[in-house]
Amino acid sequence: MVTVFGLDEAHSLGVRGRNGAGLIEEQEIAHDRIISINPCGKALASQGALVACPEWFRQLLINKGRSFIYTTGPSPWMAASVLVAIDRVKHAQEERRHLSKISNQLRKTLANLGVNFGTSSSHIIPIILSDEATALTYSNHLAKCGIQASAIRPPTVNINQCRVRLSLNANLGQNEIDAIQTAIKTINMKDL
């Protein structure tokens, strides 16, 4: 029996790997041993998703996947836009470098402030707070500062693991990162 693994490349496609192809590319994993879901709605600026998989799994999806069998296929225009986006992502080394730089900078600031961001090592940075009320208050404070950071609450996360989630992107400049850092510094934890 062959062991096959699955991976959701939702937050790594376009960001990780030499050509932005995600964690599979970065870790040099053979595609015959892994099934990956590659969303087209984030880095590829489209919709839907691609499944990269071994041939046997492809055949299984084609023949047994009811939602695949009975769904209208994507338009040729959408497929063409995804191909253009894939080519763009391949050549976005500077954007990947910048995103890594600002993500590292923000995590360093959070660490210096004693803010719990878990084990994040990417551009998705949670600020782990505890209860729902605290997460909502924190999110609302950031919103008043012009920063969108959604409160993530149960059942998405465990009770007392509520958080706000910062999702950085390569279009953010130093001014925006400074504003995020300033907003976080100004939050009076005693009022939360």
pLDDT of residue 11: 92
Task: Work out whether strand 49-52 and strand 34-39 pair parallel, antiparallel, or are unpaired.
Answer: antiparallel
Confidence of residue 191 (pLDDT cuts 50, 70, 90): low
Asked: is 93-191 a CATH 2.40.10.10 domain? The reply is: no
Confidence of residue 188 (pLDDT cuts 50, 70, 90): low
pTM: 0.85
The answer to whether 23 and 7 are in contact (CB under 8 A) is yes
Q: Is the pLDDT of residue 77 over 90?
A: yes
Q: Which amino acid would we find at residue 168?
A: L
- Which of helix, strand or coil describes residue 165? strand
Note the CATH number of domain 5-90.
3.40.640.10
pLDDT tens, residue by residue, 104-122: 999 999 999 999 999 999 9
From the list 179, 9, 186, 166, the residue with the least C-alpha distance to 99 is 166
Give Cβ neighbours of residue 100 (< 8 Å, ≥ 6 apart): 123
Q: How is the chain split into domains, by residue range?
A: 5-90, 93-191
What is the distance of C-alpha 43 from the center of its chain?
9
pLDDT tens, residue by residue, 134-166: 999 999 999 999 999 999 999 999 999 999 999
Q: What whole-number percentage of the chain has pLDDT above 70?
A: 96
> Residue 48: enclosing H or E segment and its boundaries?
none
